[in-house]
Amino acid sequence: MATDIRIVDLQSDTRTKPTPEMRRAMAEAEVGDEGYGDDPTLNRLEAMAAEMLGTEAAILVSSGSMGNLVAALNFCARGDQMILGHRAHTLIAEMGSSAAHGGIVYRTVPSNERGMMDLDAVDLLLHPRDEPQPHTGLIEMENTHGSTGGRVISAEETRAVVDLAHRNDVPVHIDGARFFNAVTATGATPKELSGGVDTITFCLSKGLSAPFGSMLCGTREDMARARVIKKSLGGGLRQSGIMAAAGIVALNTMIDRLADDHENASTLAKGLARLPGVVLNPEDVETNQVYFGVTFDDQDEVNRVLTERGVQGLILDEGWRFVTHSGVDADDIEYALGVIGETFSEFA
């Protein structure tokens, strides 16, 4: 590939780079030892995250997958079941970690085109006709919902799940990797949108553009146990204030600009929908992810050519995916649409 070709990387918002302010904050961070609880920068980040989500406490973990695993291990004993939607990221893209590390049984229920679980199906698992089924340790939701194209679960929908779960003494966890994209799309506050769940994760390293980490938020009691579980998984980070410093900058400076990503994704979706061979309803694009289908053959070859021409995306089980983020601006989107249009026209 030519080195002077213009690159527009739409593979994922994990492709973001830390801002200059983040790099300075990391270089200058005051640090201690997380194991002794005396890293002041980490403590500040965790307090910020808890305050923003309206929880008592929070802990920094290495990734959203680790946060989801720690939450599951916190609530579920070996042999317990975790109820989740049939297209949940935890189920299809986290390597069965809850089963592998905790002996937890995944029990799936149907979810709709936006990722909202069927509450009647959830209720049936909570009140089984067959008594010998596993005890329910946790219900997990996902917001935004990745495999449906970054769709948003509303505060009212979340509250409905929480009310059903809590009536049956079952906790609820939100896999909120892109939770602040959902906040931006709805205009709700983080506390409102979390709907009274017991724990929630959100990523610092996707749309918020930090180089590391996710936050797991919940009660002091749950986070105290979670910290022990995190350490047992090798998650003790020592002078983690270096990484936490970037997270603080992310929370202070990168949330409001997520609206730009959503606008760019909408522009991209509308442009793609006009191209030959593309199957896409732009109205389905609610945040920063654009999923679409194509009618032409040999999609891998098309993607290879597109990549050679500098526009990078992914083909997943759900179809093609382009994701906007802080490394892509409006001019990049217009340029990418030109390249995509030329390439698709050759294969349609």
Q: What is the pLDDT along the chain (348 residues), one digit of tens a residue?
A: 446 899 999 999 999 999 999 999 999 999 999 999 999 999 999 999 999 999 999 999 999 999 999 999 999 999 999 999 999 999 999 999 999 999 999 999 999 999 999 999 999 999 987 778 899 999 999 999 999 999 999 999 999 999 999 999 999 999 999 999 999 999 999 999 998 999 999 999 999 999 999 999 999 999 999 999 999 999 998 899 999 999 999 999 999 999 999 999 999 999 999 998 999 999 999 999 999 999 988 999 999 999 999 999 999 988 999 999 999 999 999 999 999 999 999 987
| pLDDT of 130 | 76
- The residue segments making up the domain with residue 304 are 8-15+257-347
Among 204, 226, 253, the domain-final residue is 253
CA dihedral 167, 168, 170, 171 (to 10 degrees): 0
Among 201, 219, 253, the domain-final residue is 253
- Give the CATH number, domain containing residue 324: 3.90.1150.10
102 is a domain residue: yes
Task: Tell me the two tokens of residue 204.
Answer: 């610092």
Separation between Cα atoms, residue 135 and residue 245, nearest integer Å: 40
142 and 272 both lie in a single domain: no
67 and 27 both lie in a single domain: yes
275 is a domain residue: yes
Among 215, 235, 253, the domain-final residue is 253
Q: What is the 3-state secondary structure (H, E, C) of 256-314?
A: CCHHHHHHHHHHHHHHHHCCCCEECCHHHCCCCEEEEEECCCCHHHHHHHHHHCCEECE
78 and 157 both lie in a single domain: yes
Contact present, 276 and 53 (Cβ < 8 Å): no
Classified as helix, coil or strand, 239 is coil
97 and 174 both lie in a single domain: yes
Contact present, 115 and 174 (Cβ < 8 Å): no
| pLDDT of 3 | 60
Separation between Cα atoms, residue 291 and residue 279, nearest integer Å: 9
Q: What sign for the dihedral angle of Cα 235, 103, 113, 171?
A: negative
245 is a domain residue: yes
Contact present, 318 and 291 (Cβ < 8 Å): yes
180 and 326 both lie in a single domain: no
| pLDDT of 324 | 98
206 and 304 both lie in a single domain: no
Separation between Cα atoms, residue 101 and residue 70, nearest integer Å: 10
- Give the CATH number, domain containing residue 137: 3.40.640.10
308 is a domain residue: yes
Task: Tell me the two tokens of residue 69.
Answer: 């695993």
Question: Going by C-beta distance under 8 Å and a sequence separation of 6 or more, which residues neighbour residue 129?
Answer: none
Separation between Cα atoms, residue 100 and residue 72, nearest integer Å: 12
1 is a domain residue: no
Gap between the terminal Cα atoms of the chain? 24
Q: In the chain, which residue ranges form alpha helices assigned H by DSSP? A: 20-28, 40-53, 64-75, 89-92, 97-102, 119-126, 155-167, 179-186, 190-194, 220-232, 241-253, 258-273, 299-308, 330-347
| pLDDT of 1 | 44
317 is a domain residue: yes
279 and 206 both lie in a single domain: no
Number of domains in the chain: 2
164 and 49 both lie in a single domain: yes
67 and 172 both lie in a single domain: yes
Separation between Cα atoms, residue 265 and residue 292, nearest integer Å: 12
Contact present, 24 and 34 (Cβ < 8 Å): no
